[in-house]
Amino acid sequence: MNRKLVSLLLLFLATDCVAQRVFIQQMEPTRQSRYAAGQLAGALISKKYSIVSERTSADFTIQLAPVNVQLGSEAYVIERQGKQFTVSGGDNRGQIYGCLSIVEDIRNGIALDQIRTRQERPHLPFRAIKFDLPWDTYRHSYALDQHYETCRDTLYWKAFLDMMVANRFNALSLWNLHPYTFMIRPANFPAATPFNDQQLAEWQTLFRTIFRMAKDREIDTYLVPFNIFTSPEFSKAYNVNPRLNNLDHHHFIDGDTSAIVKRYTRECVTQVLQEYPDLTGFGLTLGEAMGGMSPQQREDWMKATIIEGMRLAGRKSKLVHRIPFSSTTGSLGITSIDTEKLTRKSIESEAALPFIDGPIWADLKYNWSHGHSTPTLVKVHGGKLFDTYFKPEPNTYKITWTVRNEDFFCLRWGVPDFVRSHIAANNQAYVGGYFLGSETYIPAKDYFTSPGAPVDWTYAFERQWLFYKLWGRLLYNPATPDALFRSEFVRRYGMSAAPLLEAYALASKTPLRLASSFDFTWDFSLYSEGMMGFDANKNVAYISVNQQISQPTLDPTYVSVSDYVKTTAAGGSFSKEKITPPMLANILVTDCRKALRLIQSIKTTGNRSLLYEVADVMAWANLGLHMTEKLNGAVALQTYRTTGQAAMKQVALRHLKAALRYWDNVIAITRPLYNDMPLVHLTEQKGHTWAENNTLRFHWDKLRPDVAKDIELVENELPTTPKK
């Protein structure tokens, strides 16, 4: 090799080793553009680019242009001319999203010179997280209390807010029974706050930091207190009515409508808004501790306290009005047209107030407490939803749907087409967006992962990254392709992990199908990942074969086992759009077996994080196969009971024994990986004290005796006389 060729080769190698230099220019710096620029710089540095302070020395320039309102709220455009990229946003939030789109490409290994021009705009304007704080919680359980220290750590909130903005969530709502005394010392009721000055200052630093970091990311923040509650210290110091002295903060009690409680609440709202300028607004929730009050009295109380407190704050605020779920004086009443008319009138009157920054977000629970069921709206909290809120079409408020997750906390979940179908079913002009969240789970401390080799996450929400990425990105743009989510698996674990998205899309349909085929109401009535629900005594237990037979379905296209056997035994049939138990079993077995085939070749040796991703697909798939055998066994058992065909008893036994084998597979997969887990659903088991229930733990292993009881039940089943 001659000297000239060697010199050229050395020059090439030296040039290749020099980091490409990038100049990031903020044309009109704001706290939001500084955040966006920081995210760009961090991603570039992680890929060995160098950030320079002068354009003249740069190989590439990324220019954050001034806001261009003509693009529309939250929209962005990325343009490229040679080595210069220009990111334009319709507002500060749009500019952040444009920069984060480039960040995503960089982290996925796409070189700057390969990044293409693009633009996006939001499909729905409101994309919120419902976050129940672990202090003064709605429900009382160690499962919630254990998150206390994690949620006092601002590093946790930084990570959570970074996740939110990356996934295009634009609102964080913070819920607990009585938040005020963690945030202020009420000027006229100082004894209401239980903390000394130093302790209160620490709480205030926490909340101010959360709101500041959210504002930096252009995430709106809402405080949502339940009502009517006061602090125990207030009750003791200011002689609250002893009959209503709710020191333990139970939520189904009569409301305290005394003048002092009204004044205290109103002044707390005003002081919070004045002391926390980065707080965007408040939420109203009408129900808890408002027993004995009519719907009109509840609305009047809200106007006299929270709404009036917002007015007195002297600044504009946004408002979430949670649509009440009781048309009676009881906390657990049913829905009614009259209550809908009353509520709509109240919301429209609030929207006309000059200090309310509209539109008002009028919120309803989609399919009560178990939104991860069917995309079809069957009911809301309290029962049937009438059309009062939609006709005539509102112009001062938008409907938001709360999609609760009280069904899977441990196992990872991700079904892109379910989210897309949900959004498509709620594409009406009156829909403003969604809340995502839970009341029996807080995504903070990772209390699931068993001790062992290191994993790639610190916090619970980071385990469920696919859940948040799917909901957030698809709410922003439902046309976001599966390729984007697949790329995230590849970025984390390499090319061999690419099949994981399809595997999750198939296997984690299992809880959706269970919830669609098993009717429910409030939080504890179903826990899908545990195959648990209310038994005849309203205790949360493994769903027995008898309950599988008798339970009505939620989704009207599904057919229950009882109805199926009754109809077919009489010679009847079902229309083609109906999903019968045998059809559901066939769908489950097809999807779950395919999911298992997709992950067969993924090697997890030496990568414990990938092991968990693969194991959760295996767990869901085996739960689905368990459900398949359970359904087939239930049909055979009910057929035996209905027709007296002796052979059907043996068919039922064969299927239920197979169901137990699949359950044993779930135990074998999860026992080495997951701790015994506290579960809020178990805190109200009858026949035990709350303290006893609070020590109960969930693991699939603990339910094995109940699964085996189905076999014992059939073995002991006596011959029956055919029903006529």
What is the band of 2 on the pLDDT scale with cuts at 50, 70, 90?
low
| 647 has a pLDDT exceeding 90 | yes
| Residue 24, helix vs strand vs coil | strand
Encode pLDDT of 414-465 as tens digits: 999 999 999 999 999 999 999 999 999 999 999 999 999 999 999 999 999 9
**Helices of type H across 292-415:** 295-302, 308-312, 337-351
What is the band of 705 on the pLDDT scale with cuts at 50, 70, 90?
very high
Encode pLDDT of 142-189 as tens digits: 999 999 999 999 999 999 999 999 999 999 999 999 999 999 999 999
Residue 581's contacts (CB-CB under 8 Å, 6 or more residues apart) are 517, 559, 560, 561, 564, 631, 632, 634, 635
Residue whose C-alpha is closest to residue 269's, from 338, 198, 178, 382: 178
Taking CA atoms, 282 is separated from 126, 176, 220, in Å, by 15, 12, 11
Average confidence (pLDDT) over 408-413: 98
Q: What is the pLDDT of residue 724?
A: 56
| 330 has a pLDDT exceeding 80 | no
Residue 104 CA to residue 113 CA, distance in Å, equals 15
Q: Work out the percent of the chain whose per-residue pLDDT is above 90.
A: 91
Q: What is the pLDDT of residue 241?
A: 74
Residue 276 CA to residue 209 CA, distance in Å, equals 10
Q: What is the pLDDT of residue 195?
A: 98
The token pair that represents 592 in the structure block: 């779950």
| 345 has a pLDDT exceeding 90 | yes
Residue 383 Ramachandran class (φ > 0 left, ψ -120 to 50 alpha, else beta): left
Q: What is the pLDDT of residue 245?
A: 64
Specify the residue for token string 């299927």: 655
Specify the residue for token string 């779920």: 325
Q: What is the pLDDT of residue 326?
A: 79
Q: What is the pLDDT of residue 210?
A: 99
Residues 290 and 255 sit within 8 Å (Cβ to Cβ): yes
What is the band of 1 on the pLDDT scale with cuts at 50, 70, 90?
very low
Encode pLDDT of 43-81 as tens digits: 999 999 999 999 999 999 999 999 999 999 999 999 999
Q: What is the pLDDT of residue 693?
A: 96
Q: What is the pLDDT of residue 436?
A: 98
Q: What is the pLDDT of residue 8?
A: 41
Residue whose C-alpha is closest to residue 598's, from 619, 626, 617: 617
| Residue 404, helix vs strand vs coil | strand
Q: What is the pLDDT of residue 244?
A: 65
Q: What is the pLDDT of residue 540?
A: 98
What is the band of 351 on the pLDDT scale with cuts at 50, 70, 90?
very high
Among 232-241, 468-477, 653-662, the range scoring the smallest mean pLDDT is 232-241
Residue 720's contacts (CB-CB under 8 Å, 6 or more residues apart) are 640, 641, 644
447-454's contacts with Cβ under 8 Å and 24+ in sequence apart are 447/146, 447/675, 447/677, 447/678, 448/409, 448/410, 448/674, 448/675, 448/677, 449/612, 449/673, 449/674, 449/675, 450/672, 450/673, 450/674, 450/675, 452/608, 453/608, 454/608
Predicted model pTM? 0.96
| 564 has a pLDDT exceeding 80 | yes
Tell the burial category of 600 from Cβ atoms under 10 Å away from its Cβ (0-12, 13-18, 19+). exposed
Specify the residue for token string 């333990």: 248
Q: In sequence order, what E strands does 587-665 have? A: none
Residue 53 CA to residue 605 CA, distance in Å, equals 44
Q: What is the pLDDT of residue 533?
A: 98
Q: What is the pLDDT of residue 508?
A: 98
| 222 has a pLDDT exceeding 80 | yes
Residue whose C-alpha is closest to residue 159's, from 93, 92, 217: 217
Residue 97's contacts (CB-CB under 8 Å, 6 or more residues apart) are 74, 76, 89, 120, 168, 476
The token pair that represents 209 in the structure block: 């930091």
For residues 236 and 563, the model is more confident at 563
The CB-side HSE value for 280 (13 A sphere, CA atoms) comes to: 25
Residue 441 CA to residue 129 CA, distance in Å, equals 13
Q: What is the pLDDT of residue 519?
A: 98
Per the prediction, the chain carries an average pLDDT of: 95
Encode pLDDT of 88-112 as tens digits: 999 999 999 999 999 999 999 999 9
Encode pLDDT of 503-535 as tens digits: 999 999 999 999 999 999 999 999 999 999 999
Encode pLDDT of 577-619 as tens digits: 999 999 999 999 999 999 999 999 999 999 999 999 999 999 9
Backbone CA torsion sign across 498, 500, 502, 503: positive
